[in-house]
DNA sequence: TCCTCTATTGAAAGCGGTTTCAAAACGGCT
DNA sequence: AGCCGTTTTGAAACCGCTTTCAATAGAGGA
């Protein structure tokens, strides 16, 4: 292995100055096509990669972005949502030739320390953060630091904040509407008040009821924190109300609800129908497979990176970029529709 | 906002040279206590934070490590193993004050490109890689680049390579032994030949059979690729052999096996017992909850980071650090033991 | 008192890029 | 041929910190 390649080695090989190599590297003008090609060739042949650190020191740009996941759970990745998101962002970063750093912060108030560390390091061009009611407190700090950032999910106070979100209100609506269409009247829901996604899904549930003239019954609403256990408890609390159907706000929570139902001797969908939200692997793997609202996580992640890349590029030259992606219902067995068709 | 503080401003204020400030900053010796205190005071009062980037550039150390996950699947994180590992490594990195970058490379031969980019960037102090029979090909490249690296899982050719692995052979052994103890004789297995972990688990299965004098029957062994679907197919292939019990080499694969069994009208554990491997969330969430070999993923990740930190520190001054962590059996319902106890 | 040795200290040389600025080269005009 | 205005190009400064190395100061010994 040859010794480390520096911009000087390339300059020597191509018989130009460091400055010219730098120009080629950054696509700046004022380089004769012929020279540009000669330099490019050397770069290609040697596989030279500029040193990011040095580049950053000189230009204040690192090509490194951070993904900050803050969650209440002890084990963040027990919810496949974060896994899927992380993977999507990772792909997006690669596609945009950005290096991705991962930070996972937990409930115990480590969040601010983590973030302080990130900001103090001065290493990052931008940040992607997951939104929950806790994490939203970071926004002033981020603003003060002047670092570009994009939220995945809408923060509580979204004014002037760039974010990419799924249409959770629509999700709650179509899930509930589907159950209502199938003739159920006592439709319960297990929601979450951890983030706006949870709020929105419940709001969608509510509007679907309203549309068909059904009252919003507080006793048919229970809350969980996206964990299986919390939904298990929520479902048990709901059982005495004898719901005919339930819209559960996430696939992981549906697993908990299913367990509570199974223990109570209720069959899904024969005794009670269930529609879930997210369409992550557990939705397919569950027994029965879940009818669920599909959230475009891959696109969300990709778009978050692209949005970030954009605001890093032309810094602050425009308003808040806020995207809401559509969702759609995937019908499987837990709502009873498949059976209905099969038994025709 | 005052103008940016640099080491020079501190030096001026404390009436010493930059070098002395640097010594104080890094806790180096050869500074009079009196001077050290004077400098510290200025630093404290001004709230000066050294610029990490400059520091990195000068010291040729970035404190950034990479986690390189290469997998065959289109969606790596559909296997919660990688999620759990990523989380563990993330925690470990934070604990060691290292910044973690994540790289996910897919089957289509992107692996080498990804790795080339990583190595050429010169940004990383070290790498943690997951081992599969494909990824092992990276070793020569890594060696040539002279970058410290640690494998999670034992590579096929582990000579001189640092790695942290679980005792998969023991895992296969205790899983199978448990089934044999419960009186089953026709014990099948769904293994994998994607990595040494798969090989080892099958080897453990084999040795458990051997110990009780049972022959190794090729027809009772089927292979999957750690995906649910592959295990579903493997289980279906196994069914005509009418096994009384089966040891499945991962929780995700167990989900596939369960599906095949359910479709065949077989109840678990009444008609066929199952022991799984990994003890990831799906093991608890499955119906029935899986008896499974618990793999210490959190410790594996933490240890991988610590090992890496160590070899980054005293570079190459010792032999290969190879750790094999113990595993243990977690008894739930799928093996029938819980029932047995309950029915006493 | 003078000399040697060691603990402190500062000047300056990097680290590997970017960016500024002046010089060189070139083409078109008069 | 002599000028002028563009492009191109390279030399050198600079980003903020670490590290080397020589200089200085102070202590101890002869």
pLDDT tens digits for range B194-245: 899 999 999 999 999 999 999 999 999 999 999 999 999 999 999 999 999 9
The answer for residues whose C-beta is within 8 angstroms of residue A275's C-beta and 6 or more apart is: A175, A176, A178, A179, A245, A246, A247, A248, A290, A291, A292, A293, A329, A334, A335
Q: How far is CA B335 from CA A285, B50, B180, B269, B291, in A?
A: 20, 58, 11, 6, 6
Residue of B nearest to A58 (CA): B54
Nearest to A291 by CA among A278, A302, A301: A278
Evaluate if the CB of B95 falls below 7 Å from strand D. Answer: no
> What are the contacts of B2-6 at 24+ separation with CB within 8 A?
B5/B46, B5/B47, B5/B48, B5/B49, B6/B51
Instruction: Report the pLDDT value the prediction gives residue B341, as an integer from 0 to 100.
Output: 44
d(CA A66, CA A104): 10
Across-strand partners of B245? B187, B273
**Residue B322, beta-bridge partner list:** B163
Taking contacts as CB-CB distances below 8 angstroms, the residues of chain B near A82 are: 83
User: What is the model's pLDDT at position A74?
Assistant: 60
How many Cα atoms are found within 13 Å in the side-chain-facing hemisphere of B127? 30
pLDDT mean for each 10 residues of chain A (344 residues): 76 92 90 90 89 84 88 72 94 90 79 80 89 82 88 93 97 98 96 94 98 96 94 97 97 96 95 97 90 97 95 72 97 80 38
- CA nearest to B199, candidates B172, B217, B165: B172
* Nearest residue to C14 via alpha carbon and C1': B58
Is the per-residue pLDDT at B48 higher than 50?
Answer: yes
Token pair recorded at residue B302: 């933490």
Q: Which tokens go with A105?
A: 């912060």
Residue B248, pLDDT above cutoff 80: yes
State the DSSP H helix or E strand holding residue A116, giving kind and residue range, or none if neither: helix A110-121
Q: Indicate if the pLDDT at residue B342 is higher than 50.
A: no
Contacts (Cβ under 8 Å, ≥6 apart) of B320: B158, B159, B160, B161, B162, B163
Residues present in chain B in total: 344
Q: Is A75 on the interface with B (CB under 8 A)?
A: yes
Distance CA A191, CA A176 (A): 12
Q: Compare CB distances from B77 to A4, A87, A94 and report the shortest one's residue.
A: A87
- A334 with A274: CB under 8 angstroms? yes
* Bases of strand C lying below 7 A from some protein CB: 7-20
Q: How far is A159 from chain B (nearest CA, A)?
A: 26
Strands (E) located in B182-286: 187-192, 221-224, 245-248, 273-278
Instruction: State the Cα–Cα distance between residues A252 and A275, nearest whole angstrom.
Output: 12
Tell me, what DSSP letter sits at residue A107? T
Phi, psi dihedral angles at A146 (to 5 degrees): 70, 25
Rounded mean pLDDT of chain B?
A: 89
Go through chain A and tell me how many residues it has: 344
Give residue numbers, 37 to 76 of A, with CB < 7 Å from strand D.
54, 57-58
CA distances from B291 to A194, B51, B176, B296, B320 (A): 33, 52, 11, 16, 34
Long-range contacts of A36-44 (CB under 8 A, 24+ apart): A38/A14, A39/A10, A39/A14, A41/A14, A42/A10, A42/A13, A42/A14, A43/A10
Residues of A in contact with B65 (CB under 8 A): none
> From CA B10, how far away is CA B5, in angstroms rounded?
7
B120 neighbourhood in chain A, CB within 8 Å: 47-49
Q: What is the pLDDT of residue A306?
A: 95
**What residues form DSSP beta bridges with A222?**
A190
The answer to whether A120 contacts B80, with C-beta atoms less than 8 Å apart, is: no
Interface of B with A in 169-228 (CB under 8 A): 228
Look at residue B116 in the predicted model and tell me its pLDDT: 80
CA pseudo-torsion sign B139, B142, B148, B150: negative
Q: What is the pLDDT of residue A342?
A: 38
Instruction: Write down the pLDDT at residue A344.
Output: 32
Q: Which bases on strand D have an atom closer than 7 Å to a protein beta carbon?
A: 7-20
Select the residue of B78, B80, B104 nearest A90 (Cβ to Cβ): B104
Work out the minimum CA distance from A60 to partner chain B, whole angstroms.
9
Of the pLDDT bands very low, low, confident and very high (cuts 50, 70, 90), residue B308 is very high
Q: In chain B, pLDDT over 90 holds for what percent of residues?
A: 64
Residues of B in contact with A114 (CB under 8 A): 94
């Amino acid at each position: 292995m040859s010794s480390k390649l520096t911009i000087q080695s390339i300059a020597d090989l191509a018989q130009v100055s460091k400055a010219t190599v730098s120009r080629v590297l950054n696509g700046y003008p004022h380089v004769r096509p012929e020279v540009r090609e000669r330099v490019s060739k050397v770069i290609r042949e040697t596989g030279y990669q500029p040193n990011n650190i040095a580049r950053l020191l000189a230009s204040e740009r690192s090509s490194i972005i951070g993904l900050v996941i803050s969650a209440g759970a002890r084990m963040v990745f027990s919810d496949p949502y974060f896994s899927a998101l992380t993977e999507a962002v990772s792909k997006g970063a690669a596609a945009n030739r950005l290096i991705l750093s991962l930070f996972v912060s937990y409930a115990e108030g480590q969040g601010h320390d983590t973030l302080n560390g990130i900001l103090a390091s001065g290493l990052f061009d931008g940040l992607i953060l997951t939104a929950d009611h806790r994490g939203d407190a970071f926004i002033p700090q981020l603003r003060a630091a002047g670092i570009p950032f994009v939220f995945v999910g809408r923060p509580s106070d979204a004014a002037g904040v760039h974010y990419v979100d799924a249409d959770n209100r629509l999700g709650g609506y179509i899930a509930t509407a589907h159950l209502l269409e199938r003739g159920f009247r006592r439709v319960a829901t297990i929601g979450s008040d951890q983030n706006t996604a949870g709020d929105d899904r419940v709001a969608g549930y509510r509007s679907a009821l309203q549309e068909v003239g059904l009252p919003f019954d507080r006793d048919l609403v229970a809350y969980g924190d996206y964990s299986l256990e919390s939904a298990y408890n929520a479902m048990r609390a709901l059982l005495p109300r004898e719901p005919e159907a339930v819209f559960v706000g996430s696939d992981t929570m549906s697993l908990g609800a299913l367990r509570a139902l199974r223990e109570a001797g209720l069959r899904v969908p024969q005794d009670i129908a269930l529609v879930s939200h997210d369409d992550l692997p557990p939705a397919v793997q569950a027994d029965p497979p879940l009818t669920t609202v599909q959230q475009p996580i891959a696109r969300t992640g990709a778009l978050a990176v692209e949005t970030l890349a954009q605001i890093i590029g032309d810094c602050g030259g425009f308003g808040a970029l806020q995207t809401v992606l559509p969702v759609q219902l995937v019908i499987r067995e837990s709502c009873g529709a498949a059976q209905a068709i099969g038994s025709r």
